[in-house]
Every structure is written in structure tokens, then in C-alpha cells.
Amino acid sequence: MPRENSESSEKLYETYYMRVFSYAMTLTGNRTSAEEITQETFFRAISKRREFRGDSDEMTWLCAIAKNFFIDETRRQNKTEPLPENEAIPDTGKSLEQSSTDRDTSFRIHVALHALEEPYREVFELRVFGELSFREIGMIFGKTENWSRVTYHRARLKLQERMMKS
């Protein structure tokens, strides 16, 4: 590989690794699976870099690759194979009572989020966990920026309603 391509590949990886990894975590909820998706995303992106037309920005392109890989892997696993257990959460120095409350609240949020229908759940996860802009989210779905704003707002309202009920 010529040095110029190697440098641009390194720059792509260094620039977007954490954002792609965060997005993969929103898809899987599992660190090991998210790492696998992230690595495969960059492998595919670097392998097919010349095919990138620039119709969207690189982050949107990388998220689309990650999402497609995740969908393919989920289908391949036939949806019956259980995902590996999540890794233990590191000690944050909080009291046991505070940690328990935080975990309970976090669990309730994730249960409510899991129950959200699509596209609300994915738009919410892309915005909050993936830290994508509304423009990027719209591009992933092939919709407008305004569509992603409205969908995100509706997702937040639906989550708030579900949290009030539980």
C-alpha cells in the first residue's frame, strides 16, 4: 500500500474510531461485539476507500457500514444464539446505594428504550450514544435533517411517557 493511502487510512481510523465504537455499542450493548463491529467497519472502509464517492461525510459512511455489518451478523446468528454477557462495570468510587440507584435508573431507561419501535429507538441511540448530528442521522436513513429532528423529539417524548408509567 502506498504511504499516502496508509496515512489517510490511519487518519480515518484515528479520527472516527471512538465515534464508530460508540455507535456500535448502541447497536449491540456489548463491548466485545462493538469492538468486532468497529474493527470490521474500518477494515471494510479502508479496503473500499476508493469506492467512497463523498456523497455523505465519512462518519455517515462508516455508520452505514457498521449498521450493515451488524444486521448481517444478527441474521447470520439466526437470532437464537445468545449474545455474550456484558463485561463488568468498573468501580466509579460511588457508594453502593448510589450505584444501585444509578443501575436501576439505567436499567429502566434501557427497558423503555428497548420497547420503542423503530425508527425512534435507532434515531435516539444514534443521537445520544452515537453523538451524531441530525444531518448525519438523516443521511443514514435517507431522510432529511428535519425528519431526524422530529423523530428524535418524538422518541424522547415516548421515552418520557414510558419512564413515567414505570
Q: Where are the domains of the chain?
A: 1-83, 94-166
At 99 the pLDDT is 47
Low-confidence ranges of the chain (pLDDT < 70): 1-7, 53-55, 78-106, 166
At 113 the pLDDT is 76
One of 2.102.10.10, 3.40.50.1220, 3.40.50.300, 1.10.10.10 is the CATH number of 94-166, namely 1.10.10.10
At 147 the pLDDT is 92
Q: CA distances (Å), 13 to each of 19, 50, 59, 106, in order?
A: 10, 16, 11, 30
Q: CA distances (Å), 145 to each of 8, 35, 61, 137, in order?
A: 29, 29, 16, 7
Query: What average pLDDT does the structure give for the chain?
Result: 76
Q: Return the CATH number of the domain spanning residue range 1-83.
A: 1.10.1740.10
Type of residue at 135: R
At 103 the pLDDT is 67
